[in-house]
Structure 1
Amino acid sequence: MKKSRRRLAAIAAGVGIAPLVTVILPATAANAHGYVLSPPSRQAQCAQGIVPCGQIKWEPQSVEGPKGLRSCSGGNARFAELDDDSKGWRATVVGRTVTFTWTFTAPHRTRDYEYYIGDRRIAVFDGGDRQPPSSVSHSVYLGSVSGRQKVLAVWNIADTPNAFYACVDLDVR
């Protein structure tokens, strides 16, 4: 009788504590993430403290959303400030060809990488349905644009319906 009361008390305590633990402990990050580190994307600028930002400062690799979007936040409301063009993003001075370097914390198999200026796709690179190494670089020709430009870089995942998004502000000279 004494044993069964103790066991019942232990079960009741566990059931009572479980919701509290769920609220107190931070959420764990998803397994696969990546973003453009160079030239510094908006989330890289947040992580480096160049531009004051919210949650993205702590998880620049987490801008994930459904494939096909054209937003810096990947449609993720927690990172909506990445869509704010007036936030004071620093533009990197570049020529007509730029090398974009992605960094990955735990890579997915890759369908491809796309680069856009506005609604115009300026480059695509096949990912070969393979997991990338810890970083990947692409040399992208920007065309005849000049001045301040925002490039949307998209990492399309092969094994999920999602993609990772990064906007990079450039001053093309």
Structure 2
Amino acid sequence: MFKHTRHRLRKAIVVIAAVAAAAASAFVFIQPAASHGTATSPPSRQYSCWERWGDDHLNPDMADTDPMCAQAWQANPNTMWNWNGLLREGLQGQHETRIPDNQLCSGGRAEGGRYNSLDAAGAWHTTPLENNFTLHYTDTAVHGGDYYWVYVSKQGYDATTDSLDWADLERVASTGVYEPGEAVDIPVSAPGRTGRHIVYVVWQASHTDQAFYSCSDVWFGEGGPTEEPTDPTGEPTDDPTSDDPTEEPTTGGPAEGLACAASASINSWNTGATVTVTVANTGTRTVNSWMLHWTWANSGVAVSNIWSASHSTMGGMQMAAPVTYNQAIPPGGSVSFGFNVNGSLSTMPAIDCLPS
């Protein structure tokens, strides 16, 4: 059942124990954090591609059997690797006015355009559904949600030839608050639909003004092409009629065995500091890509230059992503990068390490 009580989760700020400001260098261990989340049943476009191809992304069959995932992979592999990070910050709930038409599936070209390929019209793999179904959303960061809005495309909309507009959608479910750690299973009714459709979800996270967006391709009724179906927990199920081009990885679901942590050494002086960050694979599977998120405790600190990584910001959030040669990390391995900052810095704030 939907939640009808509203409790705002106050943002938790974790500060690493301070080291002596006068020291020439400091070492800070950053605790690993979980990734963000997305719709996993029916799966979002990026999660669906990761399910089928994450462990088999070099298979040339992708181009022939799954051309929409193939074009997304060619445009930016991190669309697949970072299936859990499609977010925008600071929209203040104005999703329908600030996310432009034809850009809904990418969240308005979120994250520097990483997810733009998800807006492409075409024959994306579909999940078979009844008109009454349960949508499962995976909040692996345990943020909680102020609300979820669930839309389904109107009968007559053709996702194979037309990128998604707001006018193509009907909002069919609006929830109240979900507390951190609470399972998100939303009953949805979409009567009168047959054939190919899109289920569009807006998740307003509770920890800060972050909104996550997803497009899930589905098929109502008989006769549709299907991908491997998932149960309400997002785990694959056996289906001998599936046209899935690959076998399910023996290592389990996409997130199983994926983990990373970061440590940082700081060489500080009066007006700035040099930070060296090591990203370690603490899981049992290869990390194909990673992203770090953090927020400065002091607004006067700013990255001046960075090497062996890319740096971007979204509101007050700082983000670091790998370059080609340090993107993949084998189990037990690690990679490093560094950056300089202007401003006083003797300790690092908490960093989210997001593996994929």
Residue ranges of structure 1 left out of the alignment (5+ in a row): 1-10, 15-28
Partner of 1:136: 184
1:20-169 to structure 2, matched below 5 A, reads 33-48=36-51, 49=53, 51-52=69-70, 53=73, 54-65=77-88, 66=91, 67=93, 68=95, 69=99, 71-75=104-108, 76=110, 77-86=113-122, 88-117=123-152, 118-128=168-178, 130-133=179-182, 135-169=183-217
CA distance in structure 2 between the aligned counterparts of 1:115 and 1:163, rounded to whole angstroms: 13
Cα distance change of structure 1 residues 30 and 59 upon mapping to structure 2, 3 Å threshold:
farther
Identical positions, percent: 29
- Assess if the C-alpha contact under 8 Å between 1:47 and 1:56 holds in 2: no
Residue ranges of structure 2 left out of the alignment (5+ in a row): 1-23, 26-31, 54-65, 153-167, 222-356
- Assess if the C-alpha contact under 8 Å between 1:47 and 1:59 holds in 2: no
Instruction: Tell me how large the CA RMSD over aligned residues is.
Output: 2.4
How far is 1:143 from its partner?
2.1
Letter in 1 for 2:145: T
Once the two structures are superposed, what CA deviation does each residue of 1:69-100 show, in whole Å capped at 9, x if it has no partner?
Answer: 371111211111111122x4111111111211
How far is 1:47 from its partner?
1.3
1:9-20 to structure 2, matched below 5 A, reads none
SS at match of 1:61: coil
Cα distance change of structure 1 residues 32 and 110 upon mapping to structure 2, 3 Å threshold:
farther
CA distance in structure 2 between the aligned counterparts of 1:32 and 1:55, rounded to whole angstroms: 14
Structure with the higher helix share, 1 or 2: 1
Which stretches of structure 1, 4 residues or more, deviate above 6 A after TM superposition? none
Partner of 1:171: 219
- Assess if the C-alpha contact under 8 Å between 1:98 and 1:139 holds in 2: yes
Letter in 1 for 2:107: G
Partner of 1:3: none
CA distance in structure 2 between the aligned counterparts of 1:100 and 1:168, rounded to whole angstroms: 10
Count of aligned residue pairs for this structure pair = 144
SS at match of 1:99: strand
- Assess if the C-alpha contact under 8 Å between 1:32 and 1:108 holds in 2: no
Cα distance change of structure 1 residues 109 and 94 upon mapping to structure 2, 3 Å threshold:
closer
CA distance in structure 2 between the aligned counterparts of 1:170 and 1:123, rounded to whole angstroms: 17
